[in-house]
Structure formats: structure tokens, C-alpha cells
Amino acid sequence: MTQAQQTITPELRRWIIDQAEAGCRPQDVVQAMQTSGWNEGVAIKAMENTLREHLAATPPDDSDLPPATPVPGPPLGAAPSVLQSAGHPVTLLTTMKHPRVIVFGGLLTDAECSGLMALAEPRLLRSETVDNATGGSEVNAARTSDGMFFERGEHALIRTIEERIAALLAWPLENGEGLQILRYRPGAEYRPHHDYFDPVHSGTPRILERGGQRVGTLVMYLNTPEGGGATTFPDVGLEIAPVRGNAVFFSYERAHTSTKTLHGGAPVTAGEKWVATKWLRQREFI
């Protein structure tokens, strides 16, 4: 047996992959290679390596999933460490590809955080979430915070922050829902959920009339709680510590669990936790 005969040529590689995809048993592939002169152990290794490389290079089959849609997010190709967003420098602290999660530093100034809290406080009510059956809203035991919504562009401060977010995430300002403020007291939490609207629920078509699906979420931390309150991504064991002025962004290209964007707000153990959430839709939110 010469060295040349023990080499995986492109033709042999293709043949091994074709046999595997046709459901051929590995021992039959090895047997055929032995018949054409391969040593058994070398043939097994060659077959395994070929199939391992092939699987690594093949994207996962998403043909059963709903189609992917464009999502917000800054261009990260040049691996920047600071992004100038409408004249305000924002630091890139952490990025993850799957799920797509980005942690920003210094998105809001201390004065902006205090300003948002002061504007929101008199209007806080026990939080409601969307009622899946009707598309209306309901008080939900899974979310034990107090909350309120600003209208888009309601104050100069809101406009400044919305323009910064639109520039940072390269997504039209008009596609954003009004900013939501949440205050969690000790013991309060937001149990893990997805922010997209589940297509199986009967109320979803009505919700989608106002700008399509949600495709991204930006949670901005308005204070640093004394204890607890991390934003968690249980599918991947990721926890983001809430730090005043920082923010966590995540996007989801389809309304599906395969995005791994299940996330929650862990219970606050001491002090309060305040956040501002901006949800981004596919189209103008009306």
C-alpha cells in the first residue's frame, strides 16, 4: 500500500459523506475502503475525520423553523471597544453570538438615570404583561415589579435617549415601543420568559398589527441594586450584573426558542432595582 492510496482525496471525501447521508452503515463504508486497499484502522480514522469536519462546517438545519428576519444591532465586524452613538461614547463590555447578547457600558449618564427615575416614580403601578389570549394586559404573578410606560418622544430626555439607542442599534427610532420603567423592591423578580410574541397564542395577530414582531430588547440599568437582580439567560447560564448606566441588549431573528433568548430578572435581595426597557419592532410601532 502506497502513501498515495491512504490519502483522502476530494472524491473519496465526497463518497464517504454521500454514503453517510444515504444511511449506509459505517462498517460497510470501512469494508468498501478495505476492499480498495485501505488498512482497517486507518480507514476508520479517515471516515471519522471526514464526517466530523463535514458536520462542523455544515450550518444547523433550520428548515423547520419560521424564517429569520433582520434584527437591530451595532456593526461589530471591526471589533470596536467604543461606539459613538449620536455623540455619546458607549463601551462594549461583552458580546455573545448565540444568543446574540451585547453588554454596553456607560449607555446612560448618572443624571439621565436619575432623571428617568424621577419622571417615572409618580406614575408607577403594579406591572402588567400582555395577555396572550386577548392581546390586552393583565397583572402577572411572574413579574412582581412596579412599572410605567413613557410615550415615544414624551420629554427632551426621552428623545435624547431614544435617538442614542436608534444610532447605537442601527434601528429606526419609530420602530421602538415607548420606554418602559420597572422598579423591583426586595424579593421582586421577573421570571424567565421570551420577549417576542408567541405565534401560537390567539391574541398575537392583534399585537403584531402595531409594528410586527419584537426583534430586540435593550434593558438599561438605572441604579446598582445592593443585592441580586441580575438579568439571566438560563439557556446558556449567562448572568448580567445590573450596574447603573450599563445595559444589556439581545436580539431574536425569529419568534422561536431556538434563539436561546429566554431571560429573566433574578430576585432582588437587598435595596431596589430600576430598569428602563426599550423593545424594538420589525416596523414602525404605532
User: Does 195 sit near Zn ion (CB under 5 A)?
Assistant: yes
Three-class DSSP category at 11: helix
User: Does 189 sit near Zn ion (CB under 5 A)?
Assistant: no
Nearer to ligand PD2 by Cβ, of 73 and 229: the residue is 229
Three-class DSSP category at 29: helix
127 binds, among Zn ion, ligand PD2, none (CB under 5 to 8 A by kind): none
The window from 2-10, 16-24, 134-142, 192-200 that contacts Zn ion (CB under 5 A) reads: 192-200
The window from 128-136, 168-176, 190-198, 232-240 that contacts Zn ion (CB under 5 A) reads: 190-198
The 8 Å CB, 24+ separation contacts for 188-191 are 188/144, 188/145, 188/267, 188/268, 188/273, 189/143, 189/144, 189/264, 189/265, 189/266, 189/267, 189/268, 190/142, 190/143, 190/144, 190/145, 190/264, 190/265, 191/142, 191/143, 191/264
Residues 229-268 as x/- pattern, contact with ligand PD2 by CB under 6 A: --x-------------------------------xxx---
Do 129 and 138 touch, CB atoms closer than 8 A? Answer: yes
Give the strand pairing for 146-149 and 125-126.
antiparallel
User: Does 219 sit near ligand PD2 (CB under 6 A)?
Assistant: yes
User: 70: closest CA among 167, 163, 169?
Assistant: 169
Nearer to ligand PD2 by Cβ, of 26 and 264: the residue is 264
Maximum separation of any 2 CA atoms in the chain, in Å:
85
Residue nearest to ligand PD2 (CB): 265
Per-residue exposure over 228-240, b if at least 16 CB sit within 10 Å of its own CB, e if not: bbbbbbebeebeb
Three-class DSSP category at 121: helix
Q: How far is the CB of 101 from Zn ion (least distance, A)?
A: 13
Q: How far is the CB of 82 from ligand PD2 (least distance, A)?
A: 24
User: Does 85 sit near ligand PD2 (CB under 6 A)?
Assistant: no
Size of the site for Zn ion (CB under 5 A): 1
CA torsion sign for 163, 169, 173, 177 is negative
Size of the site for ligand PD2 (CB under 6 A): 11
User: Does 100 sit near ligand PD2 (CB under 6 A)?
Assistant: no
Q: Which cell goes with 212?
A: 410586527
The window from 46-54, 128-136, 177-185, 189-197 that contacts Zn ion (CB under 5 A) reads: 189-197
Residue ranges in 179-198 that form contacts with ligand PD2 under rule CB under 6 A: 182, 190, 195
- For Zn ion, the binding residues (CB under 5 A) are 195
- For ligand PD2, the binding residues (CB under 6 A) are 182, 190, 195, 217, 219, 231, 263-265, 275, 277
